Amino acid sequence: MNDFVFQNTTKVYFGKNQLAKVPDELGRFGKNVLMVYGGGSIKRTGLYDQLMNLMQNAGLTVYELSGVEPNPRHSTVNRGARICRENHVDVVLAVGGGSTIDCSKAIAVTTLADTDDVWDLVERKVAYSKALPIVTVVTLAATGSEMDAGAVISNMDKNIKSGLGGPMCRPSVTFEDPELTFSVPAFQTACGSFDIMSHVLDVAYFSQQEQMDMLERIQEEVMKTVVKYAPVAIKEPDNYEARANLMWASSWALNDFMYCGVSQMTACHAMEHELSAYYDITHGLGLAILTPRWLRYILDDTTAPKIAQYGRNVFGLPASGDVMEDAKKAIDALEDFCYNKLGLESHLSRLGIGEENFEKMAESAVRGKEIRGFKTLRKEDVMAIYQMCM
Amino acid sequence: MNDFVFQNTTKVYFGKNQLAKVPDELGRFGKNVLMVYGGGSIKRTGLYDQLMNLMQNAGLTVYELSGVEPNPRHSTVNRGARICRENHVDVVLAVGGGSTIDCSKAIAVTTLADTDDVWDLVERKVAYSKALPIVTVVTLAATGSEMDAGAVISNMDKNIKSGLGGPMCRPSVTFEDPELTFSVPAFQTACGSFDIMSHVLDVAYFSQQEQMDMLERIQEEVMKTVVKYAPVAIKEPDNYEARANLMWASSWALNDFMYCGVSQMTACHAMEHELSAYYDITHGLGLAILTPRWLRYILDDTTAPKIAQYGRNVFGLPASGDVMEDAKKAIDALEDFCYNKLGLESHLSRLGIGEENFEKMAESAVRGKEIRGFKTLRKEDVMAIYQMCM
């Protein structure tokens, strides 16, 4: 069992009647706010007007950055940082899902850094240790970025999706109102739900490292929450219980608690980041296509016991006595969950993706060497897994 | 499902090789440290010398308050606050279990308050909003005070055990080394383990309020961790896996995560505080004697389903189809756990406690009116429960 350090300072307001506190929390940091959001769904739902009224009535000055992409671009980050510098912005308010929040974190860091290009920070050419404070209003249960200290940014000129992070990137305050996710369409609900599942299993659960028993059991409960409530939220978009459970699961799947003592590279995330970087596909969908194939590819005597345990404890499968058989059935259950229960596409080829970039993508995914984790993957392994997804 | 606010800022160093970071973390707050500890077991185990060497080598000036009682006295708190004021102490270092940590929190608050008597704060005669920073080195898995914002103090002159708290009382940094609990005797291990169980069930699990499903499942996993590992730690005191699971369970049982959205009075804690205040018995032992009797007393059609669920999900009992029967078996299983598996005493009378104070204690436990929670208790209910413990 590895030693670890745990700290998560984010203050979370959770529930139906919390947004009125947004101006107070922003006002603790200053008067000038940059509000960051995506494609405008917050205008259709009325959230934009609600927040604007609250902030203006509180005497805050609000600047705006809209149009943040689903895989946020470094150029968008740079635009946001410029607005912050020119207007002496005191605090960044992210209103949206993981992409908007990640973009806001990167803006908050870049504003105070010695460069006007966030990519210098991603490539570690310029050091950074400070950020503007970040407040989030979450509209999608998925990445958990709202309690997490990392951000993922895409550079489409270079086909690279990469990250930055540190304690300064962790949101100071987060508002989670499950009702704000009632309007999330079935496809996005499915992708977000698999993202939650993936954080638990890719970052911690499937590992050769000895874990604390209690944390493994809690990881299973968070994954069971996804298995139970994602199909409910897809069928009944305004089911508060389902949306609330998914929302709180998403925050806890990535706020470091689940991972205490586990330190490994995340194979599915590394492989998926290449898919998003080259084809701009939704992160959760990429993960749902890759994860079952990854498990089938790495299935052997060393991995079968944990995969079989996953089947028993997350999908409620019986133990047959044959561990290899049970592991295969666990992967079947995961496929059934992804492609039937969540209704996600199962093949890259059906998304119009060809094999032409697999070698470059695999090279980049293994960072020129290998992905260490539940099972070490080299370039040819990653290519084979991409191939299994066609 | 109630709205809630969650924030827990404590930084935790967990594991075998973390104590070397103590001086750095203390040094962030200043040079003058008050080290608070209990009856001297830390001198026998070598922890005292280890910490003293680390701090002195780092150039810190260390003042000491020793002899903190198992139910810490307000007079001891006042003594500690005087040392802090006279020596311009910058940070309080608690080395011990919940009593030492609670005492340290109360010292940290009193030092900066407009009174030299902590009881003025407990009785809300003097307002308080600040505290010296608190760092803890935990030597007992029990109260979870190391990540929590409350403190319980006893005034033996008045036979009152009462609390103070607030964000300023939450430790800034906590060190949890499971090896430090290898030397905890079986009785204290048992009491501490039941304290963990009790925090989950008394504060949140047994409630009529609608809870988030994921949190209820996680509550059950934390209680199952206690059921699984407490007997192991009692039999094999230096079993790292058992000690580590209990230690991390103790922190998470009281760090607010388990209770998100539940707001109720804690019946067993209210009744137990009277036992400790009058008879100075160990908190976890008092809880273990009271809890099964409390459940039997309140067992009816409104409470049976949840008690039966507790039996199934925490003790692994089968569902018979008869909910009332299952609830009774769950209470049997809890008694078996407390009095056989943990080996704790089951009757107050065998601890030399008589009935003479039951009426006064019950009056005080219900705060002159009632305890609202899983089932509302009035004075006569509390007296009847005390009676069942004889």
Cα A102 from chain centroid (whole Å): 9
Mean pLDDT of chain A: 96
Residue A145 has pLDDT above 90, yes or no: yes
Residue B277 has pLDDT above 90, yes or no: no
Q: Could you tell me if A212 lies within 8 Å of chain B, comparing CB atoms?
A: yes
Cβ neighbourhood burial of B190 (10 Å; 0-12, 13-18, 19+)? buried
Chain A residues in contact with B138 (beta carbon < 8 A): none
Cβ neighbourhood burial of B114 (10 Å; 0-12, 13-18, 19+)? exposed
Residue A86 has pLDDT above 90, yes or no: yes
CA atoms within 13 A on the CB side of B339: 16
Residue B26 CA to residue B135 CA, distance in Å, equals 7
Chain A residues in contact with B135 (beta carbon < 8 A): none
Residue A275 in tokens: 């898919």
Residue B57 has pLDDT above 90, yes or no: yes
* pLDDT value for A5: 96
Residue B161 has pLDDT above 90, yes or no: no
Per-residue pLDDT band for A156 (boundaries 50, 70, 90) equals confident
Tens of pLDDT, residues A2-52: 999 999 999 999 999 999 999 999 999 999 999 999 988 999 999 999 999
Chain B residues in contact with A4 (beta carbon < 8 A): 14-15
Angle at A311 (CA atoms; ends B213, B319), nearest 5 degrees: 55
Residue A60 CA to residue A37 CA, distance in Å, equals 18
A240 with B13: Cβ contact below 8 A: no
Tens of pLDDT, residues B107-123: 999 999 999 999 999 99
Q: Nearest residue on chain B to A18, judged by CA atoms?
A: B3
Residue B160 has pLDDT above 90, yes or no: no
Rounded to whole angstroms, what are the CA distances from B123 to B24, B169, B380? 36, 17, 26
Which residues touch B95 (CB under 8 Å, ≥6 apart)?
B35, B36, B37, B42, B47, B48, B51, B136, B137, B139
* pLDDT value for B382: 98
* pLDDT value for B26: 98
Chain A residues in contact with B5 (beta carbon < 8 A): 11-14, 18
Of A107-116, A155-164, B331-340, B374-383, the least confident? A155-164
Residue A78 has pLDDT above 90, yes or no: yes
Residue B289 has pLDDT above 90, yes or no: yes
Cα A158 from chain centroid (whole Å): 22
* pLDDT value for B272: 95
Of B49-53, B159-163, B298-302, the least confident? B159-163
Q: Could you tell me if A114 lies within 8 Å of chain B, comparing CB atoms?
A: no
Residue A109 CA to residue A93 CA, distance in Å, equals 14
Residue B366 has pLDDT above 90, yes or no: yes
Per-residue pLDDT band for A264 (boundaries 50, 70, 90) equals confident
- The CATH number that domain B11-180 falls under is 3.40.50.1970
Mean pLDDT of chain B: 96
Chain B residues in contact with A13 (beta carbon < 8 A): 3, 5
* pLDDT value for B368: 80
Tens of pLDDT, residues A160-218: 888 899 999 999 999 999 999 999 999 999 999 999 999 999 999 999 999 999 999 99
Residue B360 has pLDDT above 90, yes or no: yes
Per-residue pLDDT band for A70 (boundaries 50, 70, 90) equals confident
Q: Could you tell me if A4 lies within 8 Å of chain B, comparing CB atoms?
A: yes
* pLDDT value for A361: 95
Tens of pLDDT, residues B165-175: 999 999 999 99
Residue B335 CA to residue A178 CA, distance in Å, equals 40
* pLDDT value for A277: 86
Would you call A149 helix, strand, or coil by DSSP? Answer: coil
* pLDDT value for B156: 85
User: For A202-215, what is the HEC assignment?
Assistant: HHHHCCCCCCCHHH
Residue A159 has pLDDT above 90, yes or no: no
A248 with B214: Cβ contact below 8 A: yes
Q: Which CATH superfamily is domain A185-388 in?
A: Dehydroquinate synthase-like - alpha domain (1.20.1090.10)
Residue B70 in tokens: 């198992």
Residue B201 CA to residue A233 CA, distance in Å, equals 29
Minimum-distance CB partner of B221 among A12, A17, A221? A221
Rounded to whole angstroms, what are the CA distances from B182 to A160, A205, B126, B242, B252? 49, 28, 41, 10, 20
Looking at chain B, the whole-number percentage of residues with pLDDT higher than 90 is 92
User: For B29-96, what is the HEC assignment?
Assistant: CCCEEEEECCCCHHHHHCHHHHHHHHHHHCCCEEEEECCCCCCCEHHHHHHHHHHHHHCCCCEEEEEE
* pLDDT value for B127: 96
Residue A202 CA to residue A268 CA, distance in Å, equals 6
Q: Could you tell me if A261 lies within 8 Å of chain B, comparing CB atoms?
A: yes
Q: Could you tell me if B28 lies within 8 Å of chain A, comparing CB atoms?
A: no
Q: Nearest residue on chain A to B178, judged by CA atoms?
A: A3
DSSP at A73? B
**Second CATH level (architecture) for the domain B186-388:** Up-down Bundle (1.20)
Residue A137 CA to residue B93 CA, distance in Å, equals 37
Chain B residues in contact with A260 (beta carbon < 8 A): 14, 248
* pLDDT value for A161: 84
Taking the domains of chain A in order of start, what are their residue ranges? 11-180, 185-388
CA atoms within 13 A on the CB side of A293: 22
Residue A116 has pLDDT above 90, yes or no: yes
Q: How large is the average pLDDT for residues B63-74? A: 94
Chain B residues in contact with A221 (beta carbon < 8 A): 214, 217-218, 221
Chain B residues in contact with A240 (beta carbon < 8 A): 1
Q: How large is the average pLDDT for residues B54-80? A: 96
Residue B258 has pLDDT above 90, yes or no: no
Q: Is the pTM of this model over 0.90?
A: yes
* pLDDT value for B71: 86
* pLDDT value for A367: 87
B14 with A261: Cβ contact below 8 A: yes
Return the closest-CA partner of residue A71 out of A8, A14, A143.
A143
Q: Are A84 and A53 in contact (CB under 8 A)?
A: no
Equal CATH topology for B11-180 and B186-388: no
* pLDDT value for B280: 86
* pLDDT value for B70: 87
Q: Could you tell me if B212 lies within 8 Å of chain A, comparing CB atoms?
A: yes
Chain B residues in contact with A1 (beta carbon < 8 A): 15, 240-241, 244
Q: Could you tell me if B11 lies within 8 Å of chain A, comparing CB atoms?
A: yes
Which residues touch A58 (CB under 8 Å, ≥6 apart)?
A23, A24, A26, A27
* pLDDT value for A204: 93
To the nearest whole angstrom, how far is the Cα of B66 from the nearest Cα of chain A? 28
Per-residue pLDDT band for A387 (boundaries 50, 70, 90) equals very high
Higher pLDDT, B310 or B258: B310
Looking up tokens 């946020």 gives: A72
Return the closest-CA partner of residue A387 out of A299, A293, A278, A273.
A293
To the nearest whole angstrom, how far is the Cα of A15 from the nearest Cα of chain B? 4
To the nearest whole angstrom, how far is the Cα of B263 from the nearest Cα of chain A? 14
Tens of pLDDT, residues B7-32: 999 999 999 999 999 999 999 999 99
Tens of pLDDT, residues A333-376: 999 999 999 999 999 999 999 999 999 999 999 988 999 999 99
* pLDDT value for A390: 96
Conformational region of residue B131, where left means phi above 0, alpha means psi within -120 to 50, and beta covers everything else: beta
* pLDDT value for A194: 97
Return the closest-CA partner of residue B96 out of B125, B68, B55.
B68
C-alpha Rg value of chain B to the nearest Å:
20
Residue B49 has pLDDT above 90, yes or no: yes
Minimum-distance CB partner of B16 among A3, A7, A218? A3
Tens of pLDDT, residues A268-320: 999 999 998 899 899 999 999 999 999 999 999 999 999 999 999 999 999 99
